[in-house]
Amino acid sequence: MLKRITVISALLVAAICSVIWAQKIIDPQILAQQEEQKKRADETGYGDIEIDNLHREIAMLAPRAAPRMKKEQDGGLSLEIASGESIKTISERYLYNGVIILYPTGEGQNAKLSKVRLVFERNNPFGKAYKREKREVVNPTPNFFDNPEAKEGQQKADPKVDRNDDILVTYFESEFDERQNETFKEKEKVELKTIPFYDKKVDFVETYKKYLRRTVKSLRFTVESIEITQKKKLRDLFELK
């Protein structure tokens, strides 16, 4: 029995060693691939065809959903996209809220977005030291392009994709003046292309895309709800009996 256990243990050790050795062999290849991905991402400005398509759909849906959206003072249309509680430690808990503000122009095939703004606020009402923060994400050029299909016999060209690297992130903290009036003060502003860490850039783009998906889903639901209400009104209007 002891001999059998010894043999099994030896086999496990050998297997682990072989995996480690394989990783040492593969690692340079993985590193090379990662470097290539970083280079390609920097060259394209972290362009993403899905983000372009989401911008396009939002531009087309927002004017139709506008009657049920909150209109901001600057003319933007806002929509809540996040709310809840985040916990870092037992003594550090935050309540947060996030909205997306859209600036659509034109309708139908001429629909565009002049700007997209996301605003996230959070505060820690549970701790001893009060803290209120705001992070504002602004995409000043949420562009999307028409990429026509290649004709038969023609070579398919690479699609034109927006770079996204001009997105700005601004961080604010609240301060109290002598009269105890609370206002937000800008503390830091960063442009996506100036962030030195590749993984942080990728994570940020994925998070931005996640909130765009959530926005599209909400806008679709709102537009469908408006259409159902309109159909019901028309049905009731023409009920002649």
Q: What are phi and psi of 190, to 5 degrees?
A: -135, 135
Give pLDDT, residue 182: 85
* CB 81, CB 209: distance < 8 Å: no
Give pLDDT, residue 211: 97
Give pLDDT, residue 22: 47
3-state helix, strand, coil in the chain (%, to 5): 45, 30, 25
Give pLDDT, residue 87: 75
* CB 102, CB 76: distance < 8 Å: yes
* CB 142, CB 115: distance < 8 Å: yes
Give pLDDT, residue 80: 96
Q: Which H/E stretch holds residue 37?
A: helix 2-44
Question: Which strands, in side-by-side order, build the sheet including 182-191?
Answer: 70-71, 77-89, 92-105, 112-123, 132-139, 168-176, 182-191
Rounded to whole angstroms, the Cα distance separating 151 from 156 reads 8
SS3 132: strand
Torsion sign across C-alpha atoms 31, 32, 35, 40: negative
Residue linked to tokens 């009731």: 236
Q: Which H/E stretch holds residue 117?
A: strand 112-123
| pTM of the predicted protein model | 0.79
Give pLDDT tens digits for 113-146. 999 999 999 998 776 778 889 999 999 999 998 8
Give pLDDT, residue 21: 44
- Residues in the chain where the model's pLDDT stays below 70: 1-37, 39-42, 89-91, 127, 148-157, 241
Give pLDDT, residue 197: 86
Torsion sign across C-alpha atoms 146, 152, 153, 156: positive
